[in-house]
A and B are shown apart, each in its own frame.
Chain A
Amino acid sequence: MTLNDELAVLRSIPLFSAIRPETLRLLAFASTRMIFQSGQNLFSEGDSSASAYILLSGAATIHRQIDGQALTIDVVAPHDIVGQTALFCNKPRQVTVTANGTVEALMISKERFQELMSCCPNTLSNILSELGEQLSLAS
């Protein structure tokens, strides 16, 4: 999978839809490709959060511990993004995401994301309005 393929995936994600392609391309370049083996956690509940993951292949389960029981919340598939709140705030992870089978993902670190945003104020306002839309949909 080349940078162009990654760019296509990023463009399909609503959160980034407002970002200009050339900026998004930089974001793809600055992110890290990772492979998780079956059963490995992308991240765990309570960890400090530092990055978001975009699934490129495979599937992962989002779950959290409630009264000592693991409760599955969702299953994510390719082109889904998980842990995106890490890009905006420092709250510890609220859930655990575990790979079902081998998962390939693109890791976007908060640091890189914010560096990019600080250079492109327009992009930032676009993202904020996109976030607002997502919030209004959620509410």
Chain B
Amino acid sequence: MEPSFTRYIWTHTSRQQIWILCVVMVSMIPYYLAFDLPKMIINGPIQGSGFESVGDTQTFFSSAFFDGLQLDRMQALMVLSLGFLSLVIINGIFKYYINTYKGLLGERLLRRVRYELIDRVLRFLPVEFKRLKGGEISSMIKDEVEPLGGFTSEAFVQPVLLGGQALTALAFIFVQHVWLGCVALFMASVQMLVIPRLRRRLLVLGRERQLKARQLAGRVTEIVDGIDTIHANDTSNYERADVASRLGVLFRIRYEIYQRKFKVKFLNNFLAQLTPFLFYMIGGYLAITGRLDVGQLVAVITAYKELPGPLKELIDWDMARQDVQVKYEQIVDQFDVEHILPRDVQALDSNGEHVGKRLDKPLSAVNLVIEDEGGAVTLDGVTVSIEAGQRVAVVGDAYSGANVLAEAFGGVVKPTRGKIMAGKDNLSVLPESVTGRRITYVSSDTYYFSGSLQENLMYGLKHVPLNEVEYNDKGSMQRLREQQEAMRTGNPDFDLNSNWIDVELVNGYTEAGGMLGALKQVLSVTRLIDDVFDFALHTKIEDQEEGDLVEQVVALRKRVRDELESTGLSELIIPFDIDRYNPQAELQDNLVFGILVETVDDQRSQAGTDFLRYTMALTGLDRLLVDMGMSIAESARELFGGLEENHPFFDRLDIMEPADIPRYRALYQRTRQIEFSSISEEDRYAWIDLAFQYSEPRYRFGLLDERVMDKVIETRKMLLETAPESLRTLIAVYDPEQYLKPANLIDNIVFGKVDHRFKDAERQVRGIIERLLSRQPALYQRIFCLGLSFDVGSGGRRLTNAQRQKFNFARALLRRSDYYIFNRPIIGLDQVQQEQILRNTLYFLEKTVADAAVVWVLAAQQNARYLDRCITFRDKVIVKDMMLETFEFSPDSLVAEML
């Protein structure tokens, strides 16, 4: 990258800089005219000079080409005033244009720098990332480059303009009096020399501040990424200490910057005021002794007033220049690494030359030596050749070199010596548009981009924008503008809205099955169908998105009910019924008979609570529940009375925290002897809140009698009937004919409480739902798609470890390649699953990709029998390489069925 920022700016904006300079020069003309005109107005028409008698006229605006205007006093006043107004407007327009143009220049440069930096990050070799921290990089690209944009517009215009102003003022003083001119020049020189020198330390501090702030950003990202480790090791306080000490250092630097900045400012102001002092003293002396005209002295002092302003701004400009130069250097320093991929390795394959291009066969390592950063040999002179269509097991322990060979084939590590060849081509010179597509590498390290599961699964297919998007008039104008702007700043104009997925490259894609069919295939190979279905069942459907899906779910709900009844399993689900108490649900759920809709309106939810309490009082439920709360406390006391507070059995009583027991004890003492009406409101609702959580099957205290249940139903009905309109939206009421928006899909299908007392109740219910859906493939498909839209969370954190590895593996299988390099990809799974997935994968690739070669670094050696050849590694070299006998096997029935 260009080491000097000023040169960088000039290279990319010279034409614009010259243009804006010209505009600034031209803008000076109306600017000075506007200064001159008021004098003309006052002296002329207002004070009347030149209009001594009525009817006098004067000539205005005369020039060589124009005789001028003959105007009387009133006309002159009008014309000159309007002229002044025009100048004001013209100046305003100039100012507006100049400022926006400067802004434009700055923003374009900022965009260019940012893009260039990210482009470099994308071209860094993998080894660089062992050194870099994500947080620091993002802090540099986002924050540290920001001031560079701001300076761009000032880089050349400012010094010319300010320098000109300062020189003019100085020249004027010289014209008035040479010696006083010398004094002014001397003082200005002192200012220009001393101040920047004092500011040097400020620059050092600024640099330090930038580094420390960047490191802080890096640490914050580390804390967020490593939060699980921090919790697991109880090191949060260590992290606090670290952050506090960093903040302390930053504070010290920033405070010192303030102190120095204002010290320099003080000195600068002092020097600026020292000159007039000298003028008064020396000039005064000269005037008194008669060697200087008083008028000249006044003129000099007036002219000097114009000098410190531009001078100070010039010094500030220089300071800013040095500051951004330092910042720029600091950034360039990080991004200007020695080894970086040449641009053409990642060049967009826009003509589609590489789409169908297959790698030459075979894939071979020739005398391959690989060393880690420390120089330790991890692979020692390995020569091996993988033929097309061959399926090779690679076995060996963690330090044997087996995984290093896979990493080298996958391009994760680069050869130290020797080479990797695809036929006659050296892999290192082939563009990524060939290697990245024709070799699919996957290890147990996973990365997920935040977004939907489907987006992540299809990530490996997005190489090139494949079509021109058809925009409407407005859209195409917008697109054209975006393209032009991108060109101006060295950005690419690839259209993100274009189709990036080439179905030719998708394994298992068929016209009929589409992308979904292909996804389902790889998901069944990796045994993820149930996981995705599960995501779907736990999805909350957003309003309009899914059209009539909600109606279909309500219909399915009824079919599930019918199926349960016809198979004699109706007891598995206790449905929500307006006339019945649902014993599996807590009392509160029974009362409210619906799901509380999340609301941020505290006032409304308070109104809701008030209304509930009011209705309970009307029906007399409150009295019953206070008694019930007390009885719960009594039962709990009877049970746990003699136990210590930390006894594990307290876990079963999740209605009461052990820490709350003293509170309930006091409450009990306060209220047990007194009449309901004399119990304070607070105490009353404390008991009622306790009773709200009660469920008879869970606690079996025998407290839920017919009387209470009837009262709950009576109150529920009254609530539903009398609730004011404004409160109705707070609750989504259980209605067998309606979809419950705040509930997820499975709750909507079940529409009731699964009776967990039945062995395997949940599994049985799910089995029934799956059975019913298998008869309705279209609905199943839609629900499955909901599962694919599951948001995986930042870095895939919403997935389990096993899921992360399996989905990562599925993503690799989705892509058609010549070579599949599997580096212990699903090591987090149990042996049985690993073996099942291995069988499925080999079967799947054999059926879908002609001549695909597989190199599989195995976690379990016994699985090698499924492959054609077995290479054994020990101590960084191959110790055995043999062909294996064909071993007959079959995949999962689901996979066999699909293919």
A and B, one complex?
Answer: yes
Is A65 close to B, CB under 8 A? no
B508-546 CB contact bits vs A (8 Å, 1 = yes)?
000000000000000000000000000000000000000
Given A34-B759, A36-B759, A3 contacting B642 (CB threshold 8 A): no
How far is B699's CA from A116's CA once the two chains are assembled, in angstroms?
18
Nearest B residue (CB) for A27: B649
CB-defined contacts of B640 to chain A, threshold 8 Å: 26
Contact B702 A37 (CB under 8 A): no
Nearest A residue (CB) for B653: A29
CB-defined contacts of B571 to chain A, threshold 8 Å: 35
Given A25-B638, A25-B639, A119 contacting B757 (CB threshold 8 A): no
Contact A22 B642 (CB under 8 A): yes
Given A3-B700, A33-B700, A33-B757, A119 contacting B638 (CB threshold 8 A): no
How far is B574's CA from A35's CA once the two chains are assembled, in angstroms?
14
CB-defined contacts of B663 to chain A, threshold 8 Å: none
How far is B640's CA from A116's CA once the two chains are assembled, in angstroms?
12
CB-defined contacts of B641 to chain A, threshold 8 Å: 22
CB-defined contacts of A2 to chain B, threshold 8 Å: 700-702
How far is B757's CA from A34's CA once the two chains are assembled, in angstroms?
4
Contact B649 A35 (CB under 8 A): no
Contact B639 A40 (CB under 8 A): no
B688-706 CB contact bits vs A (8 Å, 1 = yes)?
0000000001011110000
CB-defined contacts of A135 to chain B, threshold 8 Å: none
Within the complex, the shortest CB–CB distance from B833 to chain A, in Å, comes to 20
Nearest B residue (CB) for A104: B757
Q: Which of B698-717 contact A (CB under 8 A)?
A: 699-702
The one of B649, B697, B699, B755 in contact with A26, judged by C-beta atoms closer than 8 angstroms, is B649
Is A115 close to B, CB under 8 A? yes
How far is B651's CA from A116's CA once the two chains are assembled, in angstroms?
13
Q: Which of A32-80 contact B (CB under 8 A)?
A: 33-37, 40
Within the complex, the shortest CB–CB distance from B628 to chain A, in Å, comes to 14
Contact B757 A115 (CB under 8 A): no
CB-defined contacts of A30 to chain B, threshold 8 Å: 649, 652
Is B647 close to A, CB under 8 A? yes
Contact B647 A37 (CB under 8 A): no
CB-defined contacts of A119 to chain B, threshold 8 Å: 643, 647
Contact B759 A40 (CB under 8 A): yes
CB-defined contacts of A1 to chain B, threshold 8 Å: 700
Is A134 close to B, CB under 8 A? no
CB-defined contacts of B648 to chain A, threshold 8 Å: 115
The one of A25, A35, A112, A116 in contact with B759, judged by C-beta atoms closer than 8 angstroms, is A35
CB-defined contacts of A37 to chain B, threshold 8 Å: 569, 758-759
How far is B759's CA from A33's CA once the two chains are assembled, in angstroms?
10
Within the complex, the shortest CB–CB distance from B141 to chain A, in Å, comes to 53
How far is B644's CA from A119's CA once the two chains are assembled, in angstroms?
10
Within the complex, the shortest CB–CB distance from B733 to chain A, in Å, comes to 30
Nearest B residue (CB) for A118: B648
Nearest B residue (CB) for A103: B759
Interface centre among B635, B638, B649 (most CB of A within 10 A): B649
Within the complex, the shortest CB–CB distance from A120 to chain B, in Å, comes to 10
B356-367 CB contact bits vs A (8 Å, 1 = yes)?
000000000000
CB-defined contacts of B758 to chain A, threshold 8 Å: 34-37
The one of A4, A29, A40 in contact with B649, judged by C-beta atoms closer than 8 angstroms, is A29
How far is B569's CA from A93's CA once the two chains are assembled, in angstroms?
28
CB-defined contacts of A4 to chain B, threshold 8 Å: 702
Contact B701 A3 (CB under 8 A): yes
Interface of A is mostly: helix
Q: Which of A3-38 contact B (CB under 8 A)?
A: 3-4, 6, 22, 25-26, 29-30, 33-37
- The interface size bin for chain A is 20 to 34
CB-defined contacts of B652 to chain A, threshold 8 Å: 29-30
B599-642 CB contact bits vs A (8 Å, 1 = yes)?
00000000000000000000000000000000000010011111
CB-defined contacts of B639 to chain A, threshold 8 Å: 25-26, 29
Within the complex, the shortest CB–CB distance from A90 to chain B, in Å, comes to 20
Contact A3 B702 (CB under 8 A): yes
How far is B642's CA from A25's CA once the two chains are assembled, in angstroms?
12
CB-defined contacts of B700 to chain A, threshold 8 Å: 1-3, 6, 29, 33
How far is B704's CA from A1's CA once the two chains are assembled, in angstroms?
12
How far is B641's CA from A119's CA once the two chains are assembled, in angstroms?
14
How far is B638's CA from A26's CA once the two chains are assembled, in angstroms?
9
CB-defined contacts of A112 to chain B, threshold 8 Å: 649
How far is B386's CA from A90's CA once the two chains are assembled, in angstroms?
50
Nearest A residue (CB) for B642: A22
How far is B759's CA from A37's CA once the two chains are assembled, in angstroms?
8
Q: Which of B550-585 contact A (CB under 8 A)?
A: 569, 571
A110-139 CB contact bits vs B (8 Å, 1 = yes)?
001001100100000000000000000000
CB-defined contacts of A26 to chain B, threshold 8 Å: 639-640, 643, 649
Within the complex, the shortest CB–CB distance from A75 to chain B, in Å, comes to 19
CB-defined contacts of A36 to chain B, threshold 8 Å: 758-759
Within the complex, the shortest CB–CB distance from A121 to chain B, in Å, comes to 14
CB-defined contacts of B699 to chain A, threshold 8 Å: 3, 29
B86-116 CB contact bits vs A (8 Å, 1 = yes)?
0000000000000000000000000000000
How far is B780's CA from A8's CA once the two chains are assembled, in angstroms?
49
How far is B732's CA from A135's CA once the two chains are assembled, in angstroms?
60
CB-defined contacts of B647 to chain A, threshold 8 Å: 119
CB-defined contacts of B757 to chain A, threshold 8 Å: 33-35, 104
Within the complex, the shortest CB–CB distance from A33 to chain B, in Å, comes to 5
Nearest A residue (CB) for B571: A35
How far is B641's CA from A10's CA once the two chains are assembled, in angstroms?
20
Nearest B residue (CB) for A36: B759
Within the complex, the shortest CB–CB distance from B241 to chain A, in Å, comes to 39
How far is B604's CA from A112's CA once the two chains are assembled, in angstroms?
45
Within the complex, the shortest CB–CB distance from B38 to chain A, in Å, comes to 95
CB-defined contacts of A22 to chain B, threshold 8 Å: 638, 641-642
CB-defined contacts of B643 to chain A, threshold 8 Å: 26, 119
Within the complex, the shortest CB–CB distance from A13 to chain B, in Å, comes to 18
Nearest A residue (CB) for B647: A119
Nearest A residue (CB) for B635: A3
Within the complex, the shortest CB–CB distance from B23 to chain A, in Å, comes to 83
The one of B638, B697, B701 in contact with A33, judged by C-beta atoms closer than 8 angstroms, is B697
Nearest A residue (CB) for B569: A37
Contact A115 B649 (CB under 8 A): yes
CB-defined contacts of A29 to chain B, threshold 8 Å: 639, 649, 652, 699-700
Contact B702 A116 (CB under 8 A): no
Nearest A residue (CB) for B696: A2
How far is B571's CA from A2's CA once the two chains are assembled, in angstroms?
20
CB-defined contacts of A33 to chain B, threshold 8 Å: 697, 700, 757
Q: Which of B735-794 contact A (CB under 8 A)?
A: 755, 757-760
Nearest A residue (CB) for B644: A119
Within the complex, the shortest CB–CB distance from B636 to chain A, in Å, comes to 10
Contact B649 A116 (CB under 8 A): yes
How far is B702's CA from A25's CA once the two chains are assembled, in angstroms?
14
Nearest B residue (CB) for A25: B639
CB-defined contacts of A104 to chain B, threshold 8 Å: 757
Within the complex, the shortest CB–CB distance from B1 to chain A, in Å, comes to 64
How far is B696's CA from A1's CA once the two chains are assembled, in angstroms?
10
Please name 11 further chain A to chain B contacts, defined as beta carbons within 8 Å, in addition to the given A2-B700, A26-B649, A36-B758, sorted by A numbering: A3-B635, A3-B699, A3-B701, A25-B638, A29-B652, A30-B652, A34-B759, A36-B759, A37-B758, A104-B757, A116-B649
Q: List 24 A-B contacts (CB under 8 A).
A: A3-B635, A3-B702, A25-B639, A26-B639, A26-B649, A29-B639, A29-B649, A29-B652, A30-B649, A30-B652, A33-B700, A33-B757, A34-B757, A34-B759, A35-B571, A35-B757, A35-B758, A36-B759, A37-B569, A37-B758, A40-B759, A40-B760, A116-B649, A119-B647
Residues of chain B whose beta carbon lies under 8 Å from any beta carbon of chain A: 569, 571, 635, 638-643, 647-649, 652, 697, 699-702, 755, 757-760
Shortest Cβ-Cβ A-B pairs, 7 listed: A2-B702, A3-B700, A35-B757, A35-B758, A115-B648, A2-B700, A36-B759
